[in-house]
Amino acid sequence: MSADNSGADDFIKCQKDHRPKHKRACKKRAAELHDETLFKQPESSHLGDCPICCNSLPIDLEKSSMKGCCSKVICNGCNYANQRREVEGRLKHSFGDRSDTLELADRVEVNDPVALRQVGSRCHMKGDYKGAFEYTLKAVEFGDVTAHYYLSIMYCNGQGVKKDEKNEVYHLEQAAIGGHPNARNGLGCKEGGMMNPVANLKKLYKAGKVSKDDFAATLRAYQAAVDATKSPQRDAAQEYYETHS
């Protein structure tokens, strides 16, 4: 005997009958929830933490490196500490002999999002925009935040895909929600036509469009984010690389 669905049917009928009355309120609330998610302060940047020292990875990409064998990004501090450990202990270099290209290919085979995005970037540099879009899109499907930002650029420039401002903004927003600073700045540029985020904030404050409390809170958050990327190991690595560059 089939179950009695009269209650569910009545609910669906009620939804259809009353939807016109609530449509505007629902759209307004949906927009409010979207803004709450978009403007919520992320717990960390899109780069996350170094898997070895567990400190936030530096925003400056030259202060960290990706290992092709596992697609993990480690900070220069940990990389330098490992090099010293090997030299002082007269140990064999711990990285494999396989080429970076072969290691990336292995990671792509298992749908590693960082590897997919990396291959997409290489395709882009070679002018293979279709391949770049396909790999980057797949990286997005597997949760890579930076890939969202790269897709926004492709939609903006029409590289590998037709220009589409709606999709450009969507991927900028997803990257910004994930903690990507350039994506959040990109959204600000679309609103105000300015580029440098800190300089923009100062201009808006001087123009009276940002309150003193919000201005101070933002600068404190910025400084806290910068401080979270510092460590004695990273300072030692920075000093060494600057001396021997």
- Most confident residue range from 3-17, 99-113, 115-129: 115-129
Residue 73: strand pairing partners: 66
- Give the chain's mean pLDDT: 83
Q: Which residues pair with 66 in a beta bridge?
A: 73
Q: What SS3 state is found at 103?
A: helix
CB 133 within 8 A of CB 154: yes
Can you list the domains of the chain with their CATH numbers? Answer: 45-243 (1.25.40.10)
Tabulate helix, strand, coil % of the chain (nearest 5).
65, 5, 30
Neighbouring-strand partners of residue 56: 49
Residue type, 105: A
pLDDT at site 122: 93
Partners of residue 75 on adjacent β-strands: 64
Do β-strands 64-67 and 72-75 pair in parallel, antiparallel, or remain unpaired?
Answer: antiparallel
Cα distances (angstroms) measured from residue 171 to each of 49, 124, 143, 149, 229 = 23, 18, 12, 6, 26
pLDDT for 2: 45
| Percent of the chain scoring above 90 in pLDDT | 35
pTM for this predicted structure: 0.67
Between 77 and 221, residue with greater pLDDT:
77
- Which of the two residues, 2 and 117, has the higher pLDDT score? 117
Tens of pLDDT, residues 35-68: 777 777 777 778 889 999 999 998 888 899 888 7
Percent above pLDDT 70 for the chain: 84
Report the pLDDT averaged over residues 123-144. 96
Q: 210-239: per-residue pLDDT in tens?
A: 888 888 887 887 788 778 888 888 988 888
Which DSSP category does 95 fall into? S
Angstrom distance (rounded) from CA 233 to CA 149: 30
- Residue 10's pLDDT is what? 63
Euclidean distance between CA atoms 144 and 136, whole angstroms: 9
The residue whose two tokens read 């669905």 is: 5
* Per-residue model confidence (pLDDT) at position 67: 83
